[in-house]
Amino acid sequence: MNEKLTMFKELTEAKGISGNEKEVREVMKKYISPFATEVYTDHLGSLIAKKVGQEDGPKVMVAGHLDEIGLMVTRIDDNGFLYFQTIGGWWNQVMLAQRVTVVTEQGDLVGVIGSKPPHIMPAEARKKPYDIKDMFIDIGATSKEEAESFGVKPGNSVVPYFEFQPLKNEKLLLAKAWDNRIGCAIAIEVLRQLKDIEHPNIVYGVGTVQEEVGLRGAKTSTNMIEPDIAFAVDTGIAGDTPGISANDADSKIGKGPQIIIYDASMISHKGLRDFVLKTADEHQIPYQYATIAAGGTDSGSIHLTANGVPALSIGIATRYIHSHAGILHQDDFDNAVKLIVEVIKLLDKDTVHQITFD
């Protein structure tokens, strides 16, 4: 496995639901530190890697979020079964019978999400998605006391379990938590490719926390950085699987990064969007347009910071997001990095002023 795939494996397999991102933050820190002038965190735990090109140049933020969707233990019943609160957006139909990892101070526990079997349910009930509030996690404990002796207590993180795996077509990569470890990987690779290149600005590669529960780490990290230009790099919907019409989503994996022109949290900054598209055309970098009618990215918080920050979200089309396993295409990663790097090379003071005020 090459260095890039090893990085993908370590990032995606790391456990880091919203509010407990320490493990994945350490992975990102390991990979990004060699290319940064300085690495630090804000008080919520977002990782900030600063790379100085020109000391008095504009500040450019490239942010992926560290957190993944997961669950939190809320109570243990007398028979040792765990009940939970969802962390981030889950769809009932992708949850049952899935393996999870319960993170405790005594170590990780294997569990499975369980429910009442359909064989004993009324016919009408079997036709409906099973209610999340009636699901539980089975860790093999026989009592509340035994579960507690394993280290389980309310507040424990519960993380989807899935191993990173390239598919037979090795361009396609299967893993949990692509949303949004791929954005973190892009921030790392952008700084790596800028390592020995002069650029007229200061670049911040950021891994934000708590995106899935309200774009929270983007607020604090952006307040700390005070960027002049910002990119949120996240996953987007792939519309290339059966049952999805072009009106639902028309992006295809492998056809280039998505330029998010609209989502529920922001309208992309026209000046920055036009500049990025012009740069992509000049360098023959493929891209796709996308909108997200019912969701947002860290740009939603970033662009409202202080007096406002020109921001653009760039997406990587991904199949089956917000489930245990997603699929994306390596070429989209490579082209997203190439596009952001080429844009950063051009973002001097005059260009940023023109983008912001013209």
- For residues 33 and 181, give the distance between their C-alpha atoms in angstroms, rounded to a whole number: 17
pLDDT number for residue 214: 95
What does pLDDT average to in each consecutive run of 10 residues of the chain (358 residues)? 96 98 98 98 98 97 98 98 97 95 98 88 81 96 98 98 98 98 98 96 98 97 98 96 92 98 93 98 98 89 96 98 97 98 98 94
Q: Which two tokens stand for residue 150?
A: 């394993």
pLDDT of residue 292: 86
pLDDT of residue 220: 98
Nearest residue to 224 (alpha-carbon basis) of 241, 206, 246: 206
User: Does the reported pTM lie above 0.95?
Assistant: yes
- Residue that has been written with the tokens 């780490």 in this structure: 217
Residue type, 193: Q
Catalytic residue among 13, 21, 189, 211: 211
DSSP 217-246: HHHHHHHHH--SEEEEEEEEE---STT--T
Residues 6+ apart with CB under 8 A from 259: 268, 273, 276, 277, 287, 288, 289, 290, 312, 314, 315
Q: Which residues pair with 263 in a beta bridge?
A: 266, 292
To the query of whether residue 23 is one of the catalytic residues in this protein, the response is no
Q: Which residues pair with 47 in a beta bridge?
A: 41, 207
Q: What's the farthest any 2 CA atoms get from each other in the chain?
A: 69
Predicted pLDDT of residue 117? 81
Helices 3-13 and 22-32 pack at an angle, to 10 degrees, of: 160
Calpha distance 31→189 (Å, rounded): 9
Long-range Cβ contacts of 3-9 (<8 Å, 24+ apart): 4/189, 4/330, 5/164, 5/166, 5/173, 7/31, 7/185, 7/188, 8/164, 8/173, 8/175, 8/181, 8/182, 8/185, 9/164, 9/175
Ramachandran bin of 156, using left for φ above 0, alpha for ψ from -120 to 50, beta for the remaining angles: beta
- Output the six-digit token pair for 139: 């860790």
Residue 60: predicted pLDDT: 98
State the Cα–Cα distance between residues 144 and 79, nearest whole angstrom: 6
Please report the pLDDT score of residue 1 as a whole number: 86
Torsion of CA 26, 27, 30, 32, to 10 degrees: -110
Amino acid at the residue 254: G
